Chain A
């Protein structure tokens, strides 16, 4: 086991001495400081995972030290040493997320137990991180949660009572303040309640995913299909798209409709609108959501990778050059996709403050364009950059914002590659320096976006690129631009191409509105 470092801060020399010996005996590497100021600078130098500090100290006291350490690295475990009757300070410390208290006179056994608890917390947290890092383990964890699929295959015979049952349901549910719909096994809406009709219009006869999701295919975790399959009612959450394109969070509850007993012939679904989704704020829960949405594509990529290796191997054995090359290409493609996904995930997980520097707009734009030059050359796409020399400067986090602009440029390349009708493709990257803001415009004559794609392009985990996308790219791009106080807009039509516009203020006083993060300022030094 590697040695854990503990920083011990106490103004009493005797206590430092006694505790140092005790802690060393327990196997820790001990650093000591005799006051808060020294303690803080030692903390900054060494970044120990555990700090033990006395509360009562001259100048910077224990609670102040706790606060400062937590601000720099909220994951540090801080154990407070307190005298009797320090209740108020103790409460204060807890509010600042102290890990534990030990009281004077210090009992070494208590100290050891306390450190044991601290260790468990550290381990638990590392475990949690491990989860987010290891995509495969996430896949396993979420496997159970991904919904099952339809299995209603054979069904015959007339069901004379169905209409009657539906009619009775409809009357019953007409007055409910939520959406009620009845679907058949092809997910066609056969009946809806009054509120559904008034918000979505007369949509009976259409499939539910078109009406509620503006999508072209059933959802992977469709609770309705699950109900058909299991014959049991299901509960869950989903996002429904209102006719005006707004995404609403909704709770879904389904129930099988059995006309004459036996297997369900229809499923009744009840959606409770949970108000509009703003942004995904809870980091962990969005990671959880991500796990579900990417596990399927990860498995696909791994299979593709296996395939590439197999072709390579089998081609080599048969001395079939064509197959060897095919295998190599496949491996290259899959590794590229997996790499992109992992990077997206890491970038998404990274929650850091912007590190803004004054940057020349021209240099920034040239740097961003450089990223895709090889790509456009490879695919013989015309690339034109228009950037006035006097575009001036702006104050941005160059690394993050460049990734964002590059992402939009890469999307333009993908859009061109997906468009097969035209003979030649062209991307124009225009930069305009306006008085208070800088505008980056990326115009392509690629496939363009349909209504669904336009509405959902910046939502988490939405991808128009099938297996190739994580659905994170534009979400992260949008988040970065918003954090700079800017905005992304798009004009697009299928078959016509797309113009993406990123507007970024030259200076933005604050982080973008609505980011809502309380995060750790400067916490991440890695």
Chain B
């Protein structure tokens, strides 16, 4: 069965981009436009990996992460930070990787594979 990725980003263009990118590589993708939205989705299904934008209007990246990591069932899902902010590596220390926007799609796919396989 295909591995599941949750894409959290409030920029529609980026959501479309990453959805197509991951789907092309055989993953199943769900998307959330902000942290609040993402938390709702997590109530229903648990993905294998999450890509997380930082700057979002409702419940931004770090807040989302704090909330999800308090939940036993969710806290070990690998999170990749994908952000245009400067020094995004400071935001979420436990992120498995931090990618700056604009990003190299091959690099992103490589990191995803590294963590959850094909």
| Any B CB within 8 A of the CB of A107 | no
| Alpha-carbon gap, A138 to B27, bound state (A) | 37
The contact of B84 among A218, A229, A303, by CB within 8 Å, is A303
B62 with A150: CB separation less than 8 A: yes
Contact flags B53-81 to A (C-beta < 8 A → 1, else 0): 01101001110011001000000000000
- Residue-wise, chain B 1-43 has the 8 Å CB interface mask toward A (1 for contact) of 0000000000101101110110010000000000000000000
A330 interface residue (CB < 8 Å to B): yes
Q: Digitize B79-100: 1 where CB-to-A-CB distance is under 8 Å, 0 elsewhere.
A: 0000011111011111000001
| Interface residues on chain B, size class | 20 to 34
The one of A149, A151, A323 in contact with B20, judged by C-beta atoms closer than 8 angstroms, is: A323
Does B117 have its Cβ within 8 Å of any Cβ on chain A?
A: no
A303 touching B90 by the CB < 8 A rule? no
In the complex with contacts A216-B57, A303-B102, A296-B20 CB distance below 8 A: no
Give the distance to chain A from B34, nearest Cβ to Cβ, in Å. Answer: 11
CA distance A121 to B61 in the complex (A): 45
Q: Is the CB of A330 within 8 A of B13?
A: yes
Query: B100–A148 contact, CB under 8 A?
Result: no
Bound form: Cα–Cα A148–B81 in Å: 14
Assess whether A148 is in contact with B105, with CB atoms less than 8 Å apart.
no
- Bound CA–CA A243/B16 (angstroms): 41
CA distance A148 to B91 in the complex (A): 7
| Interface membership of A307, Cβ < 8 A | yes
CB–CB A149/B91 < 8 A: yes
Closest CB-CB distance, B98 to chain A, in whole Å? 11
Shortest beta-carbon distance from B68 to chain A in Å: 10
Chain B nearest CB from A373 CB (Å) reads 27
Q: Contact string, B92-118, partner A, CB cutoff 8 A, digits 1/0?
A: 111000001111010000000000000
Per-position 1/0 for A121-161, Cβ under 8 A of B: 00000000000000000000011111111110110000000
The reply to whether B69 and A303 contact each other, CB–CB distance below 8 Å, is no
B93:A153 contact, CB within 8 angstroms: yes
Task: Tell me whether A143 and B11 are in contact in the complex, defined as CB-CB below 8 angstroms, given that A303-B102, A314-B20 are known contacts.
Answer: no
Contact A299 B100 (CB under 8 A): yes
**A21 CB → nearest B CB, Å:** 54
Is A295 on the interface with B (CB-CB < 8 A)? Answer: yes
Once A217-B60, A330-B13 are accepted as A-B contacts, the answer to whether A143 and B90 lie under 8 Å apart by CB is no
Report the minimum CB–CB distance from B81 to chain A (whole Å): 10
- B61: chain A residues at CB < 8 Å are 149
Q: In whole Å, how far is A22's beta carbon from the nearest beta carbon of chain B? A: 50
Q: Which of A150, A302, A303, A310 has the most CB of B within 10 A?
A: A303
Check A437 for interface membership: any CB of B closer than 8 A.
no
Q: In the complex, how many angstroms separate the beta carbon of A226 from the nearest chain B beta carbon?
A: 8
**Given known A-B contacts A306-B102, A310-B20, A300 and B14 have beta carbons under 8 A apart:** yes
Q: A314–B17 Cα gap in the complex (Å)?
A: 10
Of chain B, the residue at the smallest CB distance from A218 is: B60
A117 interface contact, C-beta 8 A: no
Q: In whole angstroms, what is the CA distance A172 to B84 when docked?
A: 40
**Any B CB within 8 A of the CB of A7:** no
A326 to B17 CA separation, bound complex (whole angstroms): 10
Give chain A residues whose Cβ lies under 8 Å from the Cβ of B65. Answer: 153
A310 lies within 8 A of B62 (CB): no
Q: Which 9 residue pairs spanning A and B have beta carbons closest together?
A: A307-B17, A304-B13, A299-B84, A146-B86, A148-B90, A149-B91, A302-B102, A303-B101, A148-B87
> Can you give 12 contacting A-B residue pairs, CB < 8 Å?
A148-B90, A151-B62, A154-B66, A295-B84, A297-B84, A303-B101, A311-B17, A318-B24, A323-B20, A330-B17, A466-B57, A467-B11
Q: A154-B69, A307-B18 known; 18 other A-B pairs, CB under 8 Å?
A: A148-B86, A148-B87, A148-B90, A149-B88, A153-B93, A153-B94, A220-B55, A296-B84, A300-B14, A302-B101, A303-B102, A304-B14, A306-B102, A307-B13, A310-B17, A314-B21, A323-B20, A330-B13
